[in-house]
Every structure is written in structure tokens, then in C-alpha cells.
Amino acid sequence: MIQVYPDPESLSRAAAALLVTQANLAVAARGRFSVALSGGTTPRRTYELLAAPPWVDQGPWGRVHVFWGDERCVPLTDPRSNARLAKEAWLDRVPIPADQIHPLNCARDPADAARQYEAQLREFFAGQPPRLDLVLLGLGDDGHTASLFPGAPVLKEGERWAAAVCLAEPDLHRVTLTAPLINQAAMVAFLVAGKSKADVLREVLHGPYDPERLPAQLIQPQPGKLFWLTDQEAAALVPAG
């Protein structure tokens, strides 16, 4: 389902409301809420809103468990770190217990970090299906999401839950959750804003299925729900309805 908002601010408010709503539903049903956060620039405002009224007063923060959909393999203090982005904008400002926040630290050894992250997830799900309650994702203008980049070997990963991704340009390794893991989530929400995403959003949603070229097309959660939260600029080329 695609929801188009007038501007990035209203998109961010809708995303904050979605996360808090899903968190309270999950806590009421199962006593905890697990979310995998996206990096990039789009979600920053959502994270800031989650640390401010009304949402800061509504979240069941003591029952929230935070993971990341992907991370750049830089120190967690590096301005490029996705964990630093979320901690500065939100997580350092709400009472989520520190042991419930699981940053992905792959600065030293991406492959080992991916193995360790998968082990953390397996411990968290304790033999049950790895059904994250919510995965937030962004969309790159090349059709990537998380760190699932066009043509990358990880696109064909069918078993592992996390994998290292070696990018030549820029010279920046990453670790990403894999599509099979993301697709087991109860809900996946893409946050897509800005006119630079209009072409790729139309291609991903209405173009031929070509996940090698458009990895975001791999994300088809079943039986989970898939939402696209966009602003008018990003949705400008998406056929109405």
C-alpha cells in the first residue's frame, strides 16, 4: 500500500505515528516490540519526532528492542554511522534500556560482524521465526534498499539473515539484513521523499520485476504488510490509484 503525504514533514509525522502504534500493539500482544531501523537521511526527522511530544510520551520504550537494517562499517562515532544517526536524533533521548539497543558494529571485520549480528538475532528470536515487528527502509535512487545494492551477491542470499557487503564506490564496507529476513517481518515500511526518487519509485512499483537492477523489489513480506510512505515529489510519477 502506498500513502502519499504533502511533504517530508507530514511523511515523517506519519512514520512516527506508525512506529508508536505498531509498538503499542506489539507490546500489548506479545510484551515487546522489535524494530530494524533504516539509515540514510530520510528517517532522521522521524527519529527526531519520536523523541518529542506527543510521540515521546506514547512509546512503550521499556519494551522496545532496536536493531538496524544495515550499517556502514565505520566507528559508531563516525558521522556516516546509521546507529549514530538514530542515537543522536532519538535513542539517546528515550528510556529504551541500553541492552535492548543492538547497534551493528562492523568497523573492524564486516564478515565477522555479520555473523555476530545474525547470532544476536537468533538469540533474540530464541528458535522462533525471526519476525521483526517493523522494518523501516529507505530507497536509494539506484533502487537499493538497506545495503542490498544492484548486482550484489547478497541479492541471491537465501539462508543467512545478515551479510557483509563490500562496496567499491565509495570504498565503504557494509553489513545488511538480507531480503529473506526482512521479508519475514510483520510489517515493512519504506520512507521515500524527494523528487530525486520519483523515477526509481515508479520503476520499483510499476516497472518490470528486475531485482538484480532494482533490489527494493525483493522486499515483499509475506504474510507481513508492506507500506510505502512517500511525499508528493517522490510519488509524482506513480500512477494514481
Q: How far is the CB of 82 from ligand 6PG (least distance, A)?
A: 5
Establish if 21 lies at the interface with ligand 6PG (CB under 6 A): no
Within 8 A by CB and 6+ apart from 169, the residues are none
Spatial contact of 8 and 44, defined as CB atoms under 8 Å apart: no
Of 39-47, 51-59, 98-106, 154-162, the segment contacting ligand 6PG by CB under 6 A is 39-47
Q: How many CB atoms lie within 10 A of CB 66?
A: 19
The grid cell for 119 is 547470532
Size of the site for ligand 6PG (CB under 6 A): 15
Candidates 34, 42, 105, 217; binder of ligand 6PG (CB under 6 A) is 42
Is the peptide bond preceding residue 75 cis, with omega within 30 degrees of 0? no
Establish if 83 lies at the interface with ligand 6PG (CB under 6 A): no
Spatial contact of 1 and 226, defined as CB atoms under 8 Å apart: yes
Q: Which residue is nearest to ligand 6PG (CB)?
A: 138
In Å, what is the CA distance from 193 to each residue of 45, 93, 230? 12, 25, 5
Candidates 34, 105, 145, 217; binder of ligand 6PG (CB under 6 A) is 145
DSSP 138-174: ---TTS-BTTB-TT-GGGG--S-SEEEEEETTTTEEE
Q: How far is the CB of 141 from ligand 6PG (least distance, A)?
A: 7
Candidates 39, 103, 221, 224; binder of ligand 6PG (CB under 6 A) is 39
Candidates 34, 82, 100, 217; binder of ligand 6PG (CB under 6 A) is 82
The grid cell for 40 is 540514510
Of 65 and 72, which CB lies nearer to ligand 6PG in the complex structure? 72
Establish if 146 lies at the interface with ligand 6PG (CB under 6 A): yes
CA distance 186 to 188: 7
Q: How far is the CB of 60 from ligand 6PG (least distance, A)?
A: 25
The binding site for ligand 6PG (CB under 6 A) comprises 38-42, 69-70, 72, 82, 138-140, 144-146
